[in-house]
């Protein structure tokens, strides 16, 4: 089975580049250059130096002793929460800004929902002294004040989008529109393994540093580079793609991706795309998405803003269809319980997104000497309001 993107930008039937004709030249410029740049030695040197000294990589692979005892298996945590800015997203934005510079771009645009990708983008723009414009639905601007202020502090312009539902999908449309009108000097930093080809492949390659490190770190810890299981949460799917990347062709490693079931799969309030969605086109690529009978994209819901996305990257649509990875889900409540369990057993407060991955540990029967890697995609500081609310409800 082939899990790589083909030359036309497809993972089997999923992917492609469904963009307005006016945007084609921008996408084409990136498609023609991205592999050349990624393979260029000066790019590789600059990228690894920044990953080391700015992001703080390698991120540790931590043997979680008390969590392992609880589940009676061997659990390792890949600590993306310890990266600069608190999550895996910075791996991608650092890589893309280096590409933008090599393409001679002076301005960066991005769209953001929860604001996490906007902050990671504004951060690298400050680092490189490039102008940064972040499109964000007006509803999200109001919901995500701290991240909006962070972006502004970093020097970005945050543009509130007042069309449609005023959320992520509308912000994306606005970013596309801006790019069409400013093709020459602007690069569009997409934040996950979504969007038109080559973005899903580009972002997966930039995030693949996660599984690249996992290999030698597991070798050090356990004497072999391959775990038995890798578990990661999925919104668009970039931390999962990066965690799976170097193991895709090794079918002995079982891959588990966890979507947000929100208030329950059948509640009408969830973001479990693989569980509930059908093939369609979103953000310029053919994939699985949540839609109603008329093909209108349904508004997703999750307690974690980072998983609150109605689609999923085309690689994941294919990993599901080909049965290479299993797509599971966790509700808000299961996620909160898992976050408190990790906090109490290991002294690590995870992001709510990452806690979804932890929430399926109890649904599997692992053997005592299985090696299970869970990617902790981010830290929980940004989620303290939700955690405090839960403690008040439970009288902690
Ligand atoms: C954005 C985000 C996610 C979801 O994005 P993916 O592209 O699916 O990885 C997961 N965890 C954290 C901490 C995030 O900020």
Mutate which of 87, 110, 190 to test ligand 1's pocket (most atoms within 8 Å of Cβ)? 87
Is the pTM higher than 0.75? yes
What is the number of the ligand 1 atom nearest to the C-alpha of 192?
7
Residue range 309-313: mean pLDDT, rounded: 93
For residue 262, being part of any structural domain is answered with yes
Query: Does residue 133 surpass a pLDDT of 90?
Result: yes
pLDDT in tens, 153-173: 999 999 999 998 888 888 999
What are the DSSP E strand ranges found in the chain? 10-11, 14-15, 61-63, 74-79, 107-112, 131-137, 157-161, 186-188, 229-233, 254-262, 278-282, 285-289, 325-331, 371-376
For residue 346, being part of any structural domain is answered with yes
For residue 45, what is the domain's CATH number? 3.40.50.1100
Catalytic residue list contains 13: no
User: Residues 293, 303: contact at Cβ < 8 Å?
Assistant: no
Residue range 342-370: mean pLDDT, rounded: 98
Query: Does residue 335 surpass a pLDDT of 90?
Result: yes
Structure tokens at 369: 């000497």
Which candidate, 128, 120, 125, 124, places its Cα nearest to that of 86?
120
Query: Does residue 78 surpass a pLDDT of 90?
Result: yes
Q: How confident is the model at residue 380 (pLDDT cuts 50, 70, 90)?
A: very high
Half-sphere exposure of 50 (CA within 13 A, CB side): 20
The total number of structural domains in the chain stands at: 2
Per-residue pLDDT at 165 = 85
Tell how far the Cα of 67 is from the centroid of ligand 1, in angstroms.
23
Query: Does residue 350 surpass a pLDDT of 90?
Result: yes
Using a 10 angstrom Cβ sphere, with 0-12 exposed, 13-18 middle and 19 or more buried, the burial of residue 128 is middle
Per-residue pLDDT at 396 = 83
One domain, residues 235 and 299: yes
Per-residue pLDDT at 360 = 98
Per-residue pLDDT at 255 = 98
Tell how far the Cα of 383 is from the centroid of ligand 1, in angstroms.
13
One domain, residues 95 and 76: no
Catalytic residue list contains 377: yes
Tell how far the Cα of 81 is from the centroid of ligand 1, in angstroms.
11
Q: How confident is the model at residue 199 (pLDDT cuts 50, 70, 90)?
A: very high
Per-residue pLDDT at 306 = 87
| Residues 329, 309: Cα–Cα separation, whole Å | 14
Q: How confident is the model at residue 129 (pLDDT cuts 50, 70, 90)?
A: very high
Who wins on pLDDT, 310 or 219?
A: 219
Centre a 10 Å sphere on the Cβ of residue 131 and count the other Cβ atoms it contains: 15
For residue 355, being part of any structural domain is answered with yes
304: which residues sit within 8 A by CB, 6+ positions away? 260, 335, 351, 352, 353, 355, 356, 383
Percent of the chain with pLDDT strictly greater than 90? 92
Q: What is the mean pLDDT of the chain?
A: 96
Who wins on pLDDT, 82 or 296?
A: 82
For residue 249, being part of any structural domain is answered with yes
What is the number of the ligand 1 atom nearest to the C-alpha of 237?
8
Mutate which of 84, 140, 208, 307 to test ligand 1's pocket (most atoms within 8 Å of Cβ)? 307
CB-ligand 1 contact for 236 (6 Å cutoff): yes
CB-ligand 1 contact for 353 (6 Å cutoff): yes
Structure tokens at 367: 């053997």
User: Residues 199, 117: contact at Cβ < 8 Å?
Assistant: no
Last residue within a domain, chosen from 177, 203, 229: 203
Residue range 72-99: mean pLDDT, rounded: 98
Per-residue pLDDT at 374 = 99
- Residue 140's domain spans which residues? 18-50+89-203
Query: Does residue 99 surpass a pLDDT of 90?
Result: yes
Pick the catalytic residue from 78, 89, 169, 286: 89
Per-residue pLDDT at 271 = 94
Residue nearest to atom 14 of ligand 1 (CA): 306
Residue range 135-159: mean pLDDT, rounded: 95
Which candidate, 377, 339, 367, places its Cα nearest to that of 74?
367
One domain, residues 232 and 141: no
Query: Does residue 299 surpass a pLDDT of 90?
Result: no
CB-ligand 1 contact for 341 (6 Å cutoff): no
| Residue 323 β-bridge partners | none
For residue 8, being part of any structural domain is answered with no
CB-ligand 1 contact for 242 (6 Å cutoff): no
Query: Does residue 290 surpass a pLDDT of 90?
Result: yes
Query: Does residue 206 surpass a pLDDT of 90?
Result: yes
Catalytic residue list contains 44: no
One domain, residues 153 and 240: no
Per-residue pLDDT at 114 = 87
pLDDT in tens, 16-58: 999 999 999 999 999 999 999 999 999 999 999 999 999 999 9
């Amino acid at each position: 089975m082939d899990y790589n993107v083909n030359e036309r930008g497809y993972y089997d039937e999923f992917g492609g580049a469904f963009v307005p004709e006016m945007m084609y030249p921008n996408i084409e410029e990136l498609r023609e250059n991205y592999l050349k740049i990624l393979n260029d030695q000066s790019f590789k040197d600059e990228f690894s130096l920044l990953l080391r000294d700015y992001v703080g990589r390698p991120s540790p692979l931590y043997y979680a002793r008390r969590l392992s005892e609880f589940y009676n298996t061997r659990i390792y945590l890949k600590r993306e929460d310890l990266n600069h800015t608190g999550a895996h997203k910075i791996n991608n934005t650092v890589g893309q800004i280096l590409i933008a510079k090599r393409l001679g771009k002076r301005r960066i645009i991005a769209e953001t929902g929860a604001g996490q990708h906007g902050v990671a983008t504004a951060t690298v723009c400050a680092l490189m002294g490039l102008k940064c414009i972040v499109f964000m639905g007006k509803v999200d601007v109001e919901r995500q004040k701290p991240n909006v202020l962070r972006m502004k502090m970093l020097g970005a312009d945050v543009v509130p989008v007042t069309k449609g539902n005023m959320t992520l999908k509308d912000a994306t449309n606005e970013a596309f529109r801006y790019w069409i009108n400013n093709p020459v000097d602007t690069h569009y930093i997409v934040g996950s393994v979504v969007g038109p080809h080559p973005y899903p492949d580009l972002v997966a390659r930039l995030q693949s540093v996660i599984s690249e490190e996992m290999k030698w770190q597991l070798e050090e810890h356990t004497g072999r580079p391959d775990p038995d299981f890798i578990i990661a949460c999925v919104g668009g799917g970039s931390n999962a793609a990066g965690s799976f990347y170097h193991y895709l062709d090794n079918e002995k490693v079982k891959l588990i991706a966890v979507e947000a079931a929100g208030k329950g799969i059948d509640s009408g309030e969830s973001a479990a795309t693989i569980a509930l969605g059908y093939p369609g086109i979103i953000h310029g690529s053919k994939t699985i998405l949540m839609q109603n009978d008329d093909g209108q994209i349904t508004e997703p819901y999750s307690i974690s803003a980072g998983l609150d996305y109605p689609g999923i990257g085309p690689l994941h649509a294919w990993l599901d269809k080909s049965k290479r990875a299993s797509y599971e889900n966790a509700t808000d409540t299961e996620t909160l319980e898992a976050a408190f369990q990790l906090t109490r057993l290991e002294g690590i407060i995870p992001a709510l997104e990452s806690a979804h991955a932890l929430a399926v540990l109890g649904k599997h029967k692992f053997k005592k000497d299985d090696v299970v890697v869970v990617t902790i995609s981010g830290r929980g500081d940004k989620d303290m309001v939700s955690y405090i609310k839960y403690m008040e409800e439970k009288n902690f």
